[in-house]
Amino acid sequence: MKKIILASTSTLYGEEYLKYLLPAINTHFEKVERLVFIPYARPGGLSHDLYTERVQEVFNELDIEVNGLHQFDDPIAALEGAQAIFAGGGNTFLLVNELCKRNLMPVLRNVLFNGTPYLGTSAGSNICGITMQTTNDMPIVYPPSFKTIGAVPFNINAHYIDPDFDGTHMGETRETRIKEYHKFNSPPVVGLREGSWLTVTGDTIILNGQHEARIFTQHAKPYELASGETLVF
């Protein structure tokens, strides 16, 4: 049975890394002693080692040991034997490309469907959708496929921002971009606002956090899903 948390972001404005998610993470990773962290999404600013150390600092509060996936000689075996897995944020194109290079995408799918507890933030959440096509990230690398894990029956737009009708920005809004996506693609899209996350237990998907989520389906008007409600298509 799937046990997954998919968060829009790792960090809320003015807060420490993962602070707002800690109560949910503590429950989600109950009885977990060791966790495998996937650091591949960061293209710069933090090395894989430093990114893993940053995560370890947070999980020290939960008495959970963190090991970076890059530290294992056999990353496939590491994922298959993991008590729990966390994929951090960064650039989704880079994350997908790195997972594909190492033949880890099908492995990750298998362990998630078999019940290994998983936490994703930002890019780590995007890869749990059907494809990564609704990411906000720039295509800094060219992955062999946009297809991702498919742990949920839709795509995710992390960091979803509502249109600012009083602002001066004249570029496309997130809603416009998602509607463009639906001109050529049928999977639904969940716009996750900052401070919101999805809890997946088996086939049940519940929205949690501070805000509603914006739900987009092809050939239909977008609608809002309230926090605490179950997402059903």
What residues are annotated to the active site? 122, 137, 159
- Secondary structure of the chain in HEC code, one letter for each residue: CCEEEEECCCCCCCCCCCHHHHHHHHHHCCCCCEEEEECCCCCCCCCHHHHHHHHHHHHHHHCCEEEEHHHCCCHHHHHHCCCCEEECCCCHHHHHHHHHHCCCHHHHHHHHHCCCCEEEECHHHHCCCCECCCCCCCCCCCCCCCECCCCCCCEEECCCCCCCCCCCCCCCCHHHHHHHHCCCCCCCEEECCCCEEEEEECCEEEEEECCCEEEECCCCCCEEECCCCECCC
